[in-house]
Amino acid sequence: MKKLINDPSNVIADALRGIAAAHPELRVDHENRIIVRGDAPVRGKVGLVSGGGSGHEPLHGGFVGPGMLDAACAGEVFTSPVPDQMVAATQAVDGGAGVLHIVKNYTGDVMNFELAAEMVAADSGTEVVAVVVDDDVAVQDSLYTAGRRGVGATVLLEKIAGAAAEEGRPLGEVAEVARKVNAYSRSMGLALTSCTVPAAGKPTFDLPDDQMEVGIGIHGEPGRRRVPVAPAGEIAEMLVSPILSDLDYTGGDGVIAFVNGMGATPLIELYVMFNEVSQLLAKAGVPIARSLVGPYITSLDMAGCSVTLLKADDEILRLWDAPVNTPALRRGV
């Protein structure tokens, strides 16, 4: 295992210290392992809290800041944060207008966020609404999930719901926007290589040199099938077709097209993929309204990519274009 780390058991703590040193505009609570917007709680604004296992950076901590998340909880690598972290995050961002929990659909995350919401309600009476993200069309149930997994749509949802909250909209409306983004999003991913969890010290799975895994999850959990390595054009087809089969993307205002890197894939390859995706969408009569290309929800050092398509409408595009100021996504501020 070759990694830029110290002791594998300290990776999260060390990375959080790095985030604190690099981004003084954020507050890092090292004991609770939460990253909080520096000016939280913002009076009268709905607070947005997300979190999950580490190893998906910049998700979620890189998306904390004005216009996106108010706080993120960092679990161990590929392991849900515990409810106490979520409680601390929720209380830190409670500005009196309630708090939205953005939860990727993994059994541990869903359960822990539910527990945290109950604890907060019992303790301070803060109103908490949860939105569960489940956009991955690859598999119905998985190793860690009942129902579909939450993947790339999480990034888009955190941006768009964050903009709605920043506008001062009430909790019910922010949650409604978030649910719409999830309902209008579908994703599919592919791995060329496994990732290596620091504490394990060896690849999560074996993938021969001439094979790739289609429909991979963001933790190296199995996808749909293994197939021989193929050109980018065929890979794009394998990712885009199941998405377009699952939701009608025609009509409306086109899509936000998101080609995501899994952590060890160079940007030049993601642009090669974006070209192929854009051609498939043109053939399908689906215009690209906005785009996002880069490593935003990763799987440690996995090589590969995922495609997320979000069916856009006026509201989604307006909120997507709104100012945001976070370490990993910044615009208009």
For the CB of residue 213, give the shortest distance to its own copies in the complex, in Å.
11
Q: Are 235 and 303 in contact (CB under 8 A)?
A: no
Residues that bind its own copies (CB under 8 A): 2-7, 11, 14-19, 21-23, 54-55, 57-58, 62, 192-193, 209, 212, 229, 231-233, 235, 257, 259, 263-276, 278, 288, 291, 293, 295, 298, 300-301, 303-305, 327, 330-333
The residue (of 191 and 319) whose beta carbon lies closer to its own copies is: 191
Active-site entry in 23, 60, 101, 219: 219
Least distance from C-beta 68 to its own copies, angstroms? 14
CB closer to its own copies out of 305 and 310: 305
Which one, 87 or 236, has the nearer CB to its own copies? Answer: 236
Instruction: Please identify, using beta-carbon distances, which residue of 250 and 291 lies nearer to its own copies.
Output: 291
The encoded tokens of residue 129 equal: 């609404």
* Omega of the bond leading into 41 within 30 degrees of 0 (cis): yes
Q: Which is nearer to its own copies, 31 or 209 (CB)?
A: 209
- Nearest Cα neighbor of 137 from 186, 190, 191 is 186
Cβ atoms within 10 Å, residue 255: 24
**Angle at the Cα of 267 (from 3 to 157), degrees rounded to 5?**
90
Q: How far is the CB of 306 from its own copies (least distance, A)?
A: 11
H or E element that contains 191:
strand 185-191
Residue 243 beta carbon to its own copies: minimum distance, rounded to whole angstroms = 17
CB 181 within 8 A of CB 316: yes
Residue 44 beta carbon to its own copies: minimum distance, rounded to whole angstroms: 26
DSSP letters, 1-57, are: ---S-SSGGGHHHHHHHHHHHH-TTEEEETTTTEEEETTPSPTTSPEEEEEEEESST
Give min distance, CB of 177 to its own copies, in A: 23
Q: Of 207, 179, 181, 210, whose CA–CA distance to 195 is shortest?
A: 207
The catalytic residue among 23, 56, 60, 101 is 56
At 70, list the tokens: 């108010």
Q: Are 169 and 194 in contact (CB under 8 A)?
A: no
Residue 46 or 262 with smaller CB distance to its own copies: 262
State the nearest-atom distance from the C-beta of 55 to its own copies, in Å.
7
111: Cβ–Cβ under 8 A, 6 or more apart, which residues?
Answer: 80
Active site annotation includes 101: no
Note if 56 is an active site residue.
yes
- Which C-beta is closer to its own copies: that of 318 or that of 330? 330
How far apart are the C-alpha atoms of 64 and 124, rounded to whole Å? 24
Joined tokens for residue 245: 């089969």
Query: Rounded to an integer, what distance in angstroms lies between the CA atom of residue 2 and that of residue 40?
Result: 38
133 close to 157: Cβ distance less than 8 angstroms:
yes
Q: Catalytic site residues?
A: 56, 219
